[in-house]
Structure 1
Amino acid sequence: MNVKITGIGSYIPSEIAKNEHFGNHHFYNDDGTRFGQENETIIKKFKAITGIAERRYLPKNLNTSDIATFAAENAINSAGIKKEELDYIIVAHNYGDVKHGSVQSDTVPSIATRVKHNLKIQNPTCVGYDMLFGCPGWIESMIQANAFIKAGIAKKCLVIGAEALSRVVDPHDRDSMIYSDGAGAAVVEATDAEGGILSHFSATYAFDEAHFIYFGESNNLEKKDNRRYIKMYGRKIYEFALNHVPDAMKTCLEKSGHGIDEVEKIFIHQANEKMDEAIVNRFYKLYDKSTPENIMPMSINKLGNSSVATVPTLYDLVLNGELKGHSIKKGDVVIFASVGAGMNINAIVYKV
């Protein structure tokens, strides 16, 4: 018995926020001092480092649970299954439903429960729960779904990654330009077909690294409200990712029984274009090889960093021929990999 993705779907918000959107922002350092460069220079350097030209924001009337539902419906339709057949709904996110204009995240009931409600699933043995694992949450949820199916306690699982980071960004922090909104979902099933999840690897580094990404006050210290925003130590995360993610990918690949030359695509969390390129280059250097051209599809330039949604959304785009220059076919060996708050890293080797 193997565990395969039988349906994939995503929801990409229609509201486009180009880099020029930040032209009138007042940026501050984390000590509250005004940033010393003009916004035009800040934005130009940001684009050169991250590769991001625009990102997507969900409309005011929608929340994370709504877009998670949209992606779920697309995945269920793609799989051609009846929604009542689902044994588990696992939703990876980090900030819950933050309504537009609110200062509080709403996580009770869980996002998974809300999705099940929105889908109008009546089956009480369809169990829904949330995964909080930073940006690697969707991959970790896939690993758990795989375990449930391999253990014989589930046959069909719906695995969703959804986030509305536009609701938790500090407009006075340059890092706010990185974040985006979106949702991706997959139906995974037990099957006798060849392929599926071949191996996986996960790790949490929390001794020194636990607070590299955290919730904090606005960089504008004159703001007197109780709102907290997503914050990060970007340089520390960059160094952490380069030092640990390539080794995690190598460990996972070796567990799969496949060689580096058999890998057709690497679907890596869309965090930062330069960082992702450096991770993949270092991964291939572990094998004394140069990185093959076109090995790493990228969507970050248009979609930004939507956390848990980036990997399933990217896979959906490539599988359905919607990302120019990239395609995959049955039998291809691919790697899913991610790094994020916790600090957590993980990887899956998957045969399409």
Structure 2
Amino acid sequence: MAIKITGTGSYVPDVVKKNEDFNQNEFLNTDGSSIKQKNEVIIQKFKAITGIKERRYTEEHLTTSDLAFYAAKKAIEDANINPEELDYIIVGHNYGDIKHNTEQSDTVPSIGSRVKHLLGIRSPKCVAYDLLFGCPGWNQGVIHASAFIKAGLAKKCLIIGAETLSRVVDKHDRDSMIYSDGAGAVILEETKEEGGIINQVSATHTVDEAHFIYFGETNNPESKDHRKYIKMYGRKIYEFALNQVPAAMKACLDNSGYEIKDLKKILIHQANEKMDEAIVQRFYKLYDMEMPQDIMPMTISMLGNSSVATVPTLYDMILKGKLEGQSINKGDLIMFASVGAGMNINAIVYKY
């Protein structure tokens, strides 16, 4: 018996926000002072570091729970199951439902309950809840669901990662160009096939790292807007990720019973192209190896960083043939890995 992903789905919003669309923004330093460089230079440097050329923003009439529902419906259809059979719906997100041009996040009822409602599931035995774990929230939801199935508490689970970060970005902050919207979902269940989830690790670092990503006020001191926006200490996150994530990935692989040469793909959170490349390169150096070509599929250049949605969306796109030159074949050993607010880290070794 194995615990496997039997269906996938994703929702990529239609609204494309290109880098040049930020040319009119008034970017400011965190202390409110002007940035001496012109926007064209700021954007050019941003592209060189992150790899992002464009990102997707959700349509004005939709919220996080809508995106989660659309991805979930596709995953259920892909797995060819009756949604009434679901034992758990786990939704990884961070900011709840924020309607367009509103100031307050809405988290009651939970996004999980909203998705269950939209799916029309009547069974009260289908338990729906939210998981706030930063960008690694979808990975952690898979780990939760796997534990429920192993314990005999569930047979079929729906795990979703969804976010609308475009609703929580400060237009005066250069980092706002990183973030995007989207949703990805999977069905996880016990099957008679081989493979599935082989091993997983999770970690939370909080002594110095708890507030590397936080909610803060706009960079514009003259603004009367007292809303809070997603903020981060980019350099500290970069250093933390390079120091901690490769070791966690190695621990996960070493305890899986497989070797580094067996690994075919690493699906890592689409946070920052250079940072992701540095993480995976350092991971391979722990085995005195160079990073193989095509080991790390990327979507960040066109989809940006949609937090919890990046990994399941990437996985769904590869399986559905939507990412040119990338494929996952029967029996392939892959790894899901992520890092984000908390600061949290996790990794999963999975055999397709």
Interval containing the TM-score (normalised by the shorter chain):
over 0.9
Q: CA RMSD in A?
A: 0.4
State the match for 1:197 in structure 2.
197
State the match for 2:335 in structure 1.
335
Paired residue type of 2:99:
K
Q: How many residues align?
A: 352
State the match for 1:315 in structure 2.
315
State the match for 1:268 in structure 2.
268
Counting only pairs closer than 5 Å after superposition, residues 19-34 of structure 1 correspond to structure 2 as 19-34=19-34
Deviations 1:90-127 (A, max 9, x none): 00000000010111100000000000000010011000
State the match for 1:46 in structure 2.
46
Paired residue type of 1:310:
T
Mapped to 2, the partners of 1:182 and 1:347 lie a distance apart of 21
The answer to which of 269-278 and 224-233 deviates more is 224-233
Mapped to 2, the partners of 1:264 and 1:324 lie a distance apart of 16
Paired residue type of 2:155:
K
Q: Secondary structure at the match of 2:143?
A: helix
Counting only pairs closer than 5 Å after superposition, residues 161-172 of structure 1 correspond to structure 2 as 161-172=161-172
Q: Which of structure 1's runs of 4+ aligned residues deviate more than 6 A?
A: none
Counting only pairs closer than 5 Å after superposition, residues 142-221 of structure 1 correspond to structure 2 as 142-221=142-221
State the match for 2:251 in structure 1.
251
Paired residue type of 1:231:
K
Residue 234 (1) aligns with residue 230 (2): no
Identity score, percent: 68
Unaligned runs of 5+ in 2: none
Mapped to 1, the partners of 2:35 and 2:73 lie a distance apart of 44
State the match for 1:305 in structure 2.
305
Deviations 1:12-71 (A, max 9, x none): 000000001100000000011011110000000000000000000001100000000000
Q: Secondary structure at the match of 2:236?
A: helix
Mapped to 1, the partners of 2:63 and 2:320 lie a distance apart of 26
Q: Secondary structure at the match of 2:203?
A: strand
Q: CA deviation at 1:325?
A: 1.0
The answer on whether the counterparts of 1:169 and 1:230 sit within 8 Å (CA) in structure 2 is yes
Mapped to 2, the partners of 1:344 and 1:36 lie a distance apart of 35
Q: CA deviation at 1:191?
A: 1.0
Q: CA deviation at 1:226?
A: 2.0
State the match for 2:132 in structure 1.
132
TM-score (norm 2): 1.00
The answer on whether the counterparts of 1:149 and 1:155 sit within 8 Å (CA) in structure 2 is yes
Q: Secondary structure at the match of 2:324?
A: coil
Q: CA deviation at 1:319?
A: 1.1
Unaligned runs of 5+ in 1: none
State the match for 2:115 in structure 1.
115
Q: Secondary structure at the match of 1:177?
A: helix
TM-score (norm 1): 1.00
Paired residue type of 2:46:
F
Paired residue type of 1:245:
V
Paired residue type of 2:139:
I
Q: Secondary structure at the match of 1:13?
A: coil
